[in-house]
């Protein structure tokens, strides 16, 4: 399979059923949007970036530590230091799907790469726009699977319908289960459901949708993913951390909103015993 098979013969990247699911439930999956060859190259690039050592402000591996997420930390804003990451963030296929979902021109606000190695903690249920603070409106995530992703290795879980709700005030998460501090309990009558994926699948979801993941309980399987966050061109404000660019790569600054920060406030590492 190659990525160019997607949308062949004039088929839309995001069919009407996907648009309807996004509107009604807050998320939708496009299967095989990226080819296996593209995902292999992306994973090879991040393996090389990790092996080359830390890049201040983006990721700082600590191979001497026991926490898998300190050995393989997530890479923040890799598109600012890596050309392939920038190309993925601004990919025309993502742009086509996002413009269909948002109904307008889109701006890219953030990229991330998660290694999530065996034994790594998950990220407690949360809402992305709690961090981005897009005003007016919200953000949309494009979550690209880079491995076979399921419940065993800590696949994503979503709470359908929460995209239509306001931002919740989060509780403190369980340090043993989550690397991030914030936790949003599913509202009464709603529950988290898993989203199993294969390499090249893309999960699009609304910035108010409650979602998260469990720990990676496998012994030998990573759960790698590349994530982009996007906003509609009508957005006026966003957190200072998010340096918005057009899908052609031009900087489009927005006014700063209050209360924003990087996605997921990490727990401080435990001190010496």
Q: State how far the Cα of 51 lies from the Cα of 48, in Å rounded to an integer.
A: 5
In a domain, 4, yes or no: no
Domain extent, residue 109, equals: 15-255
Q: Any idea what the CATH number is for the domain that residue 113 is in?
A: 2.60.120.620
Instruction: Identify the pLDDT of residue 210.
Output: 98
Helical residues (DSSP H) of the chain, grouped into ranges: 16-25, 36-51, 68-71, 83-89, 92-102, 129-132
In a domain, 96, yes or no: yes
In a domain, 268, yes or no: no
Instruction: Identify the pLDDT of residue 269.
Output: 72
Per-residue pLDDT of the chain (273 residues; tens, 9 = 90+): 333 334 433 457 889 999 999 999 999 999 999 999 999 999 999 999 999 989 999 999 999 999 999 999 999 999 999 999 999 999 999 999 999 999 999 999 999 999 999 999 999 999 999 999 999 999 999 999 999 999 999 999 999 999 999 999 999 999 999 999 999 999 999 999 999 999 999 999 999 999 999 999 999 999 999 999 999 999 999 999 999 999 999 999 999 999 998 888 999 876 554
Instruction: Identify the pLDDT of residue 258.
Output: 93
Q: What is the pLDDT of residues 41-76, one digit of tens each?
A: 999 999 999 999 899 999 999 999 999 999 999 999
Entry pTM: 0.94
Instruction: Identify the pLDDT of residue 268.
Output: 82
In a domain, 71, yes or no: yes
In a domain, 124, yes or no: yes
Instruction: Identify the pLDDT of residue 11.
Output: 58
In a domain, 267, yes or no: no
In a domain, 161, yes or no: yes
Do 211 and 159 form a contact (C-beta atoms < 8 A)? yes
Instruction: Identify the pLDDT of residue 2.
Output: 31
In a domain, 271, yes or no: no
Query: In a 3-state reduction of DSSP, which class is residue 228?
Result: strand
Q: Give the total number of structural domains in the chain.
A: 1
Cα torsion 238, 261, 131, 85: sign: positive
Output the average pLDDT for the chain: 94
């Amino acid at each position: 399979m190659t990525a160019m098979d997607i949308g062949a013969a004039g088929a839309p990247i995001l069919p009407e059923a996907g648009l309807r699911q996004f509107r009604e439930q807050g998320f939708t999956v496009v299967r095989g949007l990226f080819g296996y060859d593209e995902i292999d190259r992306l994973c090879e690039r991040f393996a090389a970036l990790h092996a080359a050592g830390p890049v201040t402000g983006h990721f700082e591996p600590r191979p001497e530590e026991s926490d898998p997420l300190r050995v393989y930390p997530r890479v923040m804003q890799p598109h600012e230091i890596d050309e392939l990451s920038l190309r993925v963030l601004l990919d025309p296929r993502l742009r086509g799907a996002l413009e269909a979902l948002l109904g307008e021109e889109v701006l890219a606000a953030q990229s991330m790469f998660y290694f999530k190695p065996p034994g790594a903690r998950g990220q407690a249920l949360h809402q992305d726009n709690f961090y981005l603070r897009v005003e007016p409106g919200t953000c949309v995530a494009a979550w690209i699977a880079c491995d076979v992703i399921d419940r065993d290795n800590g696949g994503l879980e979503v709470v359908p319908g929460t995209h239509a709700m306001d931002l919740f005030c989060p509780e403190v998460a369980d340090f043993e289960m989550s690397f991030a501090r914030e936790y949003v309990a599913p509202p009464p009558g709603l529950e988290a459901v898993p989203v199993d994926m294969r390499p090249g699948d893309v999960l699009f979801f609304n910035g108010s949708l409650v979602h998260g993941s469990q720990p990676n309980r496998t012994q030998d399987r990573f759960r790698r993913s590349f994530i982009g966050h996007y906003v509609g061109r009508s957005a006026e404000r966003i957190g200072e951390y998010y340096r918005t660019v057009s899908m052609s790569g031009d900087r489009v600054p927005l006014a700063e909103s209050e209360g924003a920060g990087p996605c997921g406030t990490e727990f401080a590492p435990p001190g010496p015993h």
